[in-house]
């Protein structure tokens, strides 16, 4: 089935869906996965984002997303000034990311209470994005589904506990991927689901033994 979004592209402010709308969505995703308002951001631009990003407004778009703006927000060109008023400090750097999409950014975020997130993501065209790394571990999701990102200790039983809790709440798993930094170390589950996950289930998951952190991304319609 052809998605009308693939034909028409996103409603947005800015000259490029990849460099502007996609960059806003990457910033918004980073804000969501951090779990609180960011206070500090280091943004490392790769490939086309580094070469032509300033001219296409990628820098302002990323900051706008971190502030919670949408791709059609008319304040995107003023995002630097808005960030100054809201206490968000940021720096930009040009980097070479290994085996990364040309429109990629790696960001290190610190929240207002000290929460931290390291995320790498790319803009794949038409305003769409893909998250490629979280806290140094490989992932792959695009925000097309309601998505759980669960940090856990790499030990037996955690996947079964999580999926059982979702099944009991009649939440259907659409896609799932696992990553770890080494046997017995830290691991990440990325679970894309068809239905929104109720808050009581999120709280239950957070209380499960061996679960270190639960982040929930609710799909933007």
* Whole-number pLDDT of residue 11: 46
Domain segments of the chain as ranges: 4-134, 146-217
Q: What is the pLDDT along the chain (221 residues), one digit of tens a residue?
A: 444 344 344 444 444 555 689 999 999 999 999 999 999 999 999 998 888 767 678 999 999 999 999 999 999 999 999 999 999 999 999 999 988 899 999 999 999 999 999 999 999 988 899 999 999 999 999 999 999 999 999 999 999 999 999 999 999 999 999 999 889 899 999 999 999 999 999 999 999 999 999 999 998 87
Same fold across 4-134 and 146-217 = no
Per DSSP (E only), the strands in the chain are: 38-47, 89-95, 103-111, 116-125, 128-134, 137-141, 146-153, 173-180, 186-193, 211-217
12-68 pLDDT, tens digit each: 444 455 568 999 999 999 999 999 999 999 999 999 888 876 767 899 999 999 999
Helix (H, G, I), strand (E, B) or coil at 177: strand
CATH of domain 146-217: 3.30.70.260
Sign, CA dihedral 98-99-103-108, equals: negative
**76 phi, psi to nearest 5 deg:** -55, -45
The mean pLDDT of the chain is 90
* Whole-number pLDDT of residue 8: 40
Chain centroid to Cα 180, Å, comes to 18
- Angstrom CA distances, 182 to 5, 30, 154, 158, 211, stand at 39, 25, 8, 16, 16
Q: Say if CB 146 and CB 217 are below 8 A apart.
A: yes
* Whole-number pLDDT of residue 216: 95
Highest CATH level, class, for 4-134? alpha beta
* Whole-number pLDDT of residue 4: 38
* Whole-number pLDDT of residue 16: 54
Nearest to 62 by CA among 112, 25, 115, 89: 25
**pTM for the model:** 0.86
């Amino acid at each position: 089935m052809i998605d009308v979004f693939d034909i028409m592209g996103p409603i947005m402010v800015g000259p490029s869906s990849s460099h502007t709308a996609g960059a806003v969505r990457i910033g918004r995703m980073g804000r969501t996965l951090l779990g609180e308002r960011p206070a500090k951001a280091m943004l490392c631009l790769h490939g086309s984002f580094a070469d032509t990003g300033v001219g296409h407004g990628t820098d302002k778009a990323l900051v706008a997303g971190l502030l919670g703006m949408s791709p059609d927000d008319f304040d995107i060109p003023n995002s630097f000034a808005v960030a100054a008023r809201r206490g968000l400090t940021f720096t930009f750097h040009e980097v070479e990311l290994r085996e990364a999409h040309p429109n990629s950014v790696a960001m290190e975020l610190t929240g207002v209470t000290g929460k931290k997130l390291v995320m790498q993501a790319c803009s794949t065209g038409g305003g769409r994005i893909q998250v490629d790394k979280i806290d140094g571990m490989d992932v792959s999701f695009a925000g097309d589904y309601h998505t759980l990102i669960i940090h856990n200790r790499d030990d037996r039983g955690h996947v079964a506990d999580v999926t059982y809790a979702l099944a009991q709440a009649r939440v259907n798993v659409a896609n799932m991927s696992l990553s770890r930094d080494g046997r017995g170390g830290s691991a990440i589950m990325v679970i894309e689901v068809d239905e929104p996950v109720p808050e009581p289930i999120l709280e239950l998951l957070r209380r499960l033994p061996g679960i270190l952190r639960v982040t929930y991304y609710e799909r933007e319609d």
